[in-house]
Amino acid sequence: MAIIEEPLALPSGEGPEKASNPMGAFSRPRKPTGLKDWLTTVDHKKIGIMYGTAAMFFLLWGGVPALLLRLQLARPNQGLLSGDTYNQIFTMHGTVMIFLVVMPIGAAFANYLLPLQVGARDVAFPRINAFSFWVFLAGGLMLNTSWFLGGGADGGWFNYAPNNGITYSPGTGIDFWNIGLLIVGFGSLTGAVNLITTVLNMRAPGMGWMRMPIFVWMTLVTQFLLLFAIPVLTVAQLLLLFDRQFDGNFFNVAQGADPLLWQHLFWIFGHPEVYLMILPAFGVVSEVIPTFARKPIFGYPFMVFSGIAIGFMGWGVWAHHMFVSGIGPLSVTAFSVATMFIAVPTGVKILNWLATLWGGKLILNTAMLFAIGLVTQFTLGGVSGVTHAIAPSDTQQTDTYYIVAHFHYVLFGGALFGFFSGFYFWWPKVFGYKLNEKIGKWNFWSMVLGFNLTFGPMHILGLQGMPRRMQTYDVSQGFSTWNMVATIGSFILGFATLSILYNAVYSYNAWRRGGRRNVGADPWDARTIEWSIQSPTPEHNFDVTPTVTSLDDFWHRKYQENDNGVLRRVATGEDLAQPGERGNVHLPAPSYWPIFLAFSLPVIGYGLIYSLWLCIPGIALVMTAMYGWSLEPADDLDDDSHHGDHDDHATELAGV
């Protein structure tokens, strides 16, 4: 809805604009500092950092309960957690990790890097960008308040109907899950519109389609998946909302309704969802591997088109989650073949990464190790994924720990390892200092050990027939040994994951004691244009909008072939780096409205759960926020720099 109201505030251009009345009934915050700066900022870099911080908080919030699950399963017949608590914990663990950890970390990278990599001052709609973050946080917090208001959702992260109906889940846990994720979905949708517009429309001069970094391509595909997948989930959740809150019949079997509708709608969203979690990580390692293999990425067009192919084919495989739902032999065959086929573009990517590594002068620092970790472990997860494509085999494995092993290999071993690689790689660009390499290597190797000890044995447990989501097992079933191994592994993994936070604190202190010396623009001798500006990134990004002449433009300005065709360095990164002088660049002014609008939505959410009367002030707040947003002055008109020379992009950004 924000988008609908948004167009009222148009750029306050020069000239004719002054003749007509500038629109504006409310003042904008002026040069805020401290906390207020963060709450009202519309700067894509600060929003990116906040996305990352919130996601790391939710990583702990969703990770520690997972350790409780492992403690419960460490030995047979334990009674540490009741069945009900166990159900709530695994449901909330999955929900939090997918919607509030992996997706937001992808959004954090996209927010911070996308404008820098396409050479823009900011995203297309800075205020909507701030709204996307705050609404994600508002929805995520609302979802988690269920813990204190009668318990969390307990139907698994996909909450199948009719189990999610009021008959079988009379508590409010599912309502919080449903409405919380609906609100989070608004953030994903507005974020998708914003980022796609940024990539399509705000590329620097010369940044043609085939000169965009692969991270930009993968994020673009991801955002298109979000744009089209989120509304389907929204519909599924609205139907559930109407069933639960207003006594509807969409999933009411007693009235002849078909609960399979939920499964179809959920997985039409759910399968693009898994690709939109992994593709940003693919983008990250596609930047890291060429940098530290000292070679251009092998087969750039293949990397681009395989990503697009994954994006398209991801829509045609959803029913492989439903092979045992009785969807009929023809459907099973079709989706089985489609699922095998989607492994091809993914395989192309793996091959290209390996070919990039092949013959490269490898620099095995932490970022590179994590990237190789993704390639290795994701491949393992991908191979077990192909075994799911074979329907007879999948029928045996469905709802066993084999599935749990598979998706943790692709999402933790794949996505999170890729994101950790990105953390180590771009940390100096974001904060001005590198993370400690020694702790980093400990971080990596302990994560590899813990990860494989935790999830490797689950393959065996699954094939032995241990069902997922069971609270306990008997000693006679023979699951005891590998469960104990997995539990030990999970605690190693827990501490290993935490060590990146320790590394951040340690490295920050070392940097502070060392006189806060920044690493300079280009600490890794990297390839893309975000390394041509100072670290940490100046508030205005680029002093001068870069003109791009080739793929890996920055690298080609540093290295050129001499007359004999031998590649020689002609300049250092520091020579070429922009000095970081702001000049007359005008930046969009901060705003109160994004956070105001975002935190108005849960008021309606609580109203739907507890009392419809509460919806009235909720809707009033939302309407106030929308009009406040639309009628906000396009810019801070008293800002002196407003009258100076303008950069095209900056002027454009000023109003939105």
Partner 1 sequence: MSDTDINVEDIDAAGADAAVAVADATTDHAEDHGHDDHGHEEHYTSLGLSNMKLAMWLFLGSECLLFGALISAYLLSKTRFIIELVAGNPNVLAGIRDGENESLVQEMIAEASVEPIFDIPFTSLSSFILLMSSLTMVLAHKSVSEGNYKNLRIWLATTMLLGATFMAGQVYEFTTFYREGLTYNGTVFGTAFYTLTGFHGAHVTGGLIMLGSLLFLSTRNKMQKDRAETVELVGLYWHFVDIVWVLIFTIVYLIP
Give the residues lining the site for partner 1 (CB under 8 A). 1, 3-8, 10-11, 13-17, 20-21, 23, 124-125, 189, 192-194, 196-197, 200-203, 205-211, 227-232, 234-236, 238-239, 242-243, 246-250, 252, 255-258, 261, 265, 268, 627, 630, 648-649, 651-652, 656
CB of 257 to partner 1, least distance (A): 5
**Closest C-alpha among 517, 586, 472, 456 to residue 70:** 472
Backbone angles phi, psi at 467, to 5 degrees: -75, 145
Alpha-carbon torsion (593, 599, 604, 607), positive or negative: negative
Between 197 and 393, CB nearer to partner 1: 197
CA dist 269 and 323 (Å) reads: 17
| Residue placing its CB nearer to partner 1 in the complex, 321 or 408 | 321
Q: Pick the closer one to partner 1 by CB: 496 or 634.
A: 634
Tokens of 297: 């990425």
How many CA atoms within 13 Å lie on the side-chain side of 71? 14
Contacts of 22 (CB under 8 A, 6+ apart): 12, 633, 634, 637
- Closest to partner 1 by CB, 86 or 125: 125
Q: Which is nearer to partner 1, 357 or 634 (CB)?
A: 634
| Closest distance to partner 1 from the beta carbon of 382 (Å) | 28
- In whole angstroms, the minimum distance from the beta carbon of 316 to partner 1 comes to 15
Shortest spacing between CB 303 and partner 1, in angstroms: 16
Cis amide bond preceding 162, omega within 30: yes
Which of 158, 242 has the CB closer to partner 1? 242
Alpha carbon distances (Å) from 29 to 460, 590, 592, 638: 58, 6, 7, 12
Q: How far is the CB of 258 from partner 1 (least distance, A)?
A: 5
Nearer to partner 1, 130 or 447 (CB): 130
Identity of residue 109: F
Q: How far is the CB of 249 from partner 1 (least distance, A)?
A: 4
In the bound complex, what is the minimum distance in angstroms from residue 456's beta carbon to partner 1? 38
Please report where in the chains the tokens 């001068």 appear, as a residue. Answer: 544
- Beta carbon of residue 268, minimum distance to partner 1 (angstroms, whole number): 8
Task: Of 212, 266, 259, give the one whose Cα is nearest residue 236.
Answer: 266
Nearest residue (CB) to partner 1, 211 versus 459: 211
How many other C-beta atoms are found inside a 10 Å radius of the C-beta of residue 530? 27
Dist CA 547 CA 27 (whole Å): 36
CA dist., res. 613 & res. 608, Å (int): 9
Residue placing its CB nearer to partner 1 in the complex, 168 or 209: 209
Give bridge partners of residue 569 from the DSSP assignment.
Answer: 559
Q: Closest distance between partner 1 and the C-beta of residue 653, in Å?
A: 9
On whether the CB atoms of residues 58 and 98 are closer than 8 A, the answer is no
Whether 497 and 59 have beta carbons less than 8 Å apart is answered as yes
